[in-house]
Amino acid sequence: MPSTGVVVLAGTPIGDAEDAPPRLLRLLAEADVVAAEDTRRLRALATRLGVSIGGRVVSYHEHNEAARAAELVEAAEGGATVLVVTDAGMPGVSDPGYRVVRAAIEGGIRATAVPGPSAVLAALALSGLPTDRFCFEGFLPRKAGERRRALQDLAAEQRTMVFFEATHRIADTLTAMAAAFGEDREAAVCRELTKTYEEVKRGGLASLAEWAADGVRGEITVVVAGVVPVAAEAADHVAEVLALVEAGTRLKDAAGEVAERTGVSRRELYEGALAARRAGAGYRDPTSRKEGT
């Protein structure tokens, strides 16, 4: 007989307790098991919300996540409602949550979520940067060399990027970002979101790094604009067309192949290749029978 238990991931306030969704309050009181990243912070939150936790409270953090996930799913298999919360924000987003969801899926147990506050989305919305396409990169590597390589891998990313960072590393991270992405790349440093001293500092990466050098306190989320693609010019790709022709491809087909790959006008590539051929001391398409084919 199918289990009636469920695993519920619930977002918790990232600052202002009034942001807690009503379902969170109800589930804190009604859930059979409440798995918390930090049980002391959970009880403090419950006090701020004016709610009494009704079920058994267990710890669920990065050091016991794998083992505890199996226990939580086992409780749900027995019919329990298992509520999973983090210290702040949505479980599974740079916080424990992923493994228990995977275990529930594999065990045929229903998993659902209570949407709630998210530093990622709040920072993205307040950054003033494009929000139509974005990616979340979490925390960058702590070691300088690994961080530099990670940023180099993102140098061509066109989507807006969102990062988390610790206060004692933010200046170094912004400096490394300026080196990898360019000093003038637009960005926003969002700290203490929804809290009393909330601040959003916007500007180029170099200027933000200079600002952060004096120290930045609080919970920090960094939003960085993606690279702006440079429009391809036909002249930049004529050599590719001619190389294909030299290899035996018909000029018309070579222009079409390069156009599909680069987004440049097929006609401009074809005409550019013809012009280059005429200027090249009688260069001809070796696969054509007459000029211009």
Cβ proximity of 154 and 137 under 8 Å: yes
pLDDT band at 1 (very low <50, low <70, confident <90, very high): very low
Cβ proximity of 35 and 82 under 8 Å: yes
pLDDT for 291 beyond 50: no
Cβ proximity of 165 and 140 under 8 Å: yes
pLDDT for 35 beyond 80: yes
pLDDT band at 5 (very low <50, low <70, confident <90, very high): very high
CATH architecture for segment(s) 6-117: 3-Layer(aba) Sandwich (3.40)
pLDDT band at 21 (very low <50, low <70, confident <90, very high): very high
The string of pLDDT tens digits covering residues 123-153 is 999 999 999 999 999 999 999 999 999 999 9
What separation, in Å, do the N-terminal and C-terminal C-alpha atoms of the chain show? 72
DSSP string, 222-268: EEEPPPPPPPP-GGGTHHHHHHHHHTT--HHHHHHHHHHHH---HHH
Average pLDDT over residues 190-218: 96
Site of tokens 């696969």: 287
Looking at domain 120-224, its CATH class is: alpha beta
pLDDT for 229 beyond 80: no
Average pLDDT over residues 11-23: 94
What's the whole-number average pLDDT of the chain?
Answer: 91
In this predicted structure, which of 103-107, 110-114, 258-262, 284-288 has the lowest mean pLDDT?
284-288
CA separation for the pair 42, 288 (Å, rounded):
76
> pLDDT at position 231, please?
65
pLDDT for 101 beyond 90: yes
CA separation for the pair 125, 24 (Å, rounded):
23
> pLDDT at position 50, please?
96
Site of tokens 């079409």: 256
- 152: nearest Cα among 192, 185, 179, 120: 179
The string of pLDDT tens digits covering residues 265-286 is 888 888 888 888 888 644 454 4
> pLDDT at position 287, please?
46
Domain residue spans of the chain? 6-117, 120-224, 234-279
